[in-house]
Amino acid sequence: MNKLSYYQKIQSSFIILILLPVLVISILSYKTTKENVIEKIELSNRSVLNLVSKDITKLVDDLNYVTHFYVKNDEIIRTLSDISNTERIIRYRDYDNYQKVVNSFDYISIKMLNTDIHMFIVNNKDFIIPYSDGISGKTASLTVLKDHWNTVQDRIDADQSTHLQALGMVNSLNEEVDSYYYFSRVIKHPQNNAPLATLNIGISNEYFKRLFQSAKTGKLALFDENGKLIEGDPAISYKNGDKRSGEIRDEILIPISKWKLIHETSDEEVTGQITKNFLLSSILIALFFFIFLFISLLIAKRLHRPIQKLSFVATQFGQGKRDVRYVPEGRDEINELGRTINHMLDEINELIETIEQEQEEKRAIELQALFAQIRPHFLINTLNSIKCSLFINDDYEHAEKINALMSLLRAYMKIDEPSTIESECKLLSYYIEIMRMRTEVNVELKVEMEDEVKDINLPKLLLQPFIENAIVHGLSEKSAGEITIRAKKVDQWIFIMISDNGKGMSENQLLELNRMLKSDVKETSYNRVGLMNIAKRLKLYYGSNTDIKLQQNKNGGITIVIQIPFDDKEGEK
């Protein structure tokens, strides 16, 4: 955004603040609606699945009831024993047994009221005894039953007689005849375990079709325990892992039969209409967005025009056209800003004229200063002549004092030039030479300096006020004194320590001075002006990382510790 112009920023803000919320709200609304619809469909599917599974479970329970009736009823067992090897009805006894079996169906007719189920019993000689539905009058023909029996006969395990055997679907070649899913139960004599007959129960596929119509959305499929489709949509997979992306799948296991009932709803059925509405809304949003974009371009351009004029005025003024001004066209904030800028430009013109005048005056003063430098040079040349005269007359003591005074004068004349720690210590030796003569105090200066810090830059005459304070205040009552200057580097810091063996000062005075140095007090006594000035010079020269601290030393005097940062580039130089 920082690289864009103000006009582009306005336009981008319009787009972001309008388009982004609309997109976010639309997407969130779409997702929320979709999740709610999916949740409702899942609940509906689960309800349908439970209803269908209950109906199929009841049917399976009825089938188990029927088979148990034929296996456990002693009279039926005796009748089936008598008719087990009958090939056809020849005798009255055969007819009587046949009627007993047919009549046995009446006992279970109350339980089996489903017209989509037919039953028949087949003895050991493939003689078929069909179940006649007395309620609807619907009876499968013997031809159909024989065809069905011939189909399922090979699927029956004759040694398994303890439960129903699911035999699978039997599809009829005749389109008018329904397909049936068959169960069989081998009936054996309970004492000698001899096979008597086989009870066959067929469930019409029309039963499943009508049952599956209760699902308003999605599709149902019923699989047997081997994963074979009994009825339903063949596109539905038996395994849950084969579910297609975007589909809602639910399944339930039918008790006893171990059938699996599966319900699947495609993504198109679930969210098709929602997605279409969302796409239509997106198209409308895009259409309105482009209309808005065109209008916003016009508005943003109109808003940007006065700002562009302000920018032009500032650019032209910066290039030197000092008479250029903004022409206000209204009373809004930008035009008021333009009037303020015009006033500011007038004041800048006046300030430039004032500065030009001051520069002229400054140049005149500098010329006068150049002429004034003749006097100190005259003084230094005169002192140099006196020094030479003293050396000629073998007065070396006074000649050295004159030399020290000349060195100090040269330093005062070049106060703005940087110095080094080594040069400053050399200059201090000249200063002490002069102070010996003025104060009659025999002061000895000792310098201990690491080679690494000799060439470190230092403001000129920075240390001289410390030496002056030590001599005037600390050593004034002594006939002899000692001042030691130590300079060393520790990590990334330079430490300069100035120690004397003077009278020192009290702890309260030290605390007060250190507090003033830390807090940068502006108003202080005359005796402390030099100390505060040095602290300010250090901060101006090195920054706020510098530090000055006063402390007592073992000789009874004061040690001043100056801490300044070490510059790696300066150290290498």
Residue 55 lies in a domain: no
**460 shares its domain with 359:** no
Rounded to whole angstroms, how far apart are CA atoms 44 and 488?
Answer: 88
pLDDT of residue 135: 37
Identify residue 527 by its one-letter amino acid code: N
pLDDT of residue 5: 65
For residues 188 and 196, is the Cβ–Cβ distance under 8 A? yes
**78 shares its domain with 205:** yes
**Kind plus residue range of the DSSP H or E element containing 532:** helix 529-542
Last residue of a domain, one of 144, 174, 209: 209
- 334, pLDDT greater than 70: yes
pLDDT of residue 468: 85
Residue 220 lies in a domain: no
**77 shares its domain with 205:** yes
What's the pLDDT band for 488 if we cut at 50, 70, 90?
very high
- Bigger pLDDT: 550 vs 359: 550
**563 shares its domain with 447:** yes
Both structure tokens of 455: 């060439």
Cβ neighbourhood burial of 138 (10 Å; 0-12, 13-18, 19+): exposed
Rounded to whole angstroms, how far apart are CA atoms 387 and 397?
Answer: 10
- 136, pLDDT greater than 50: no
Cβ neighbourhood burial of 350 (10 Å; 0-12, 13-18, 19+): exposed
**466 shares its domain with 562:** yes
**CATH assignment at residue 171:** 3.30.450
Q: Which residue range is the domain that position 190 belongs to?
A: 73-209
Residue 193 lies in a domain: yes
- 370, pLDDT greater than 70: no
For residues 229 and 243, is the Cβ–Cβ distance under 8 A? no
**447 shares its domain with 552:** yes
Residue 191 lies in a domain: yes
Residue 536 lies in a domain: yes
**79 shares its domain with 202:** yes
pLDDT of residue 7: 63
Rounded to whole angstroms, how far apart are CA atoms 77 and 66?
Answer: 14
Rounded to whole angstroms, how far apart are CA atoms 128 and 199?
Answer: 10
pLDDT in tens, 224-263: 888 888 888 888 888 876 555 557 888 888 887 788 888 8
**463 shares its domain with 552:** yes
**353 shares its domain with 469:** no
Residue 476 lies in a domain: yes
pLDDT of residue 144: 85
Residue 198 lies in a domain: yes
pLDDT of residue 198: 93
Q: What is the number of domains present in the chain? A: 3
- Bigger pLDDT: 547 vs 439: 547
Rounded to whole angstroms, how far apart are CA atoms 551 and 558?
Answer: 6
Q: Return the closest-CA partner of residue 83 out of 72, 99, 70, 94.
A: 94
pLDDT of residue 127: 92
- 480, pLDDT greater than 90: no
**342 shares its domain with 469:** no
Last residue of a domain, one of 192, 209, 226: 209
**366 shares its domain with 446:** no
Residue 525 lies in a domain: yes
pLDDT of residue 428: 87
C-alpha distances (whole Å) from 250 to each of 35, 42, 207, 243, 265 are 17, 8, 21, 10, 9
Last residue of a domain, one of 190, 209, 228: 209
**CATH assignment at residue 484:** 3.30.565.10
Both structure tokens of 251: 């399944």
- Bigger pLDDT: 369 vs 172: 172
**199 shares its domain with 80:** yes
- Bigger pLDDT: 101 vs 410: 101
SS3 content of the chain, % helix, strand, coil (to 5): 55, 20, 25
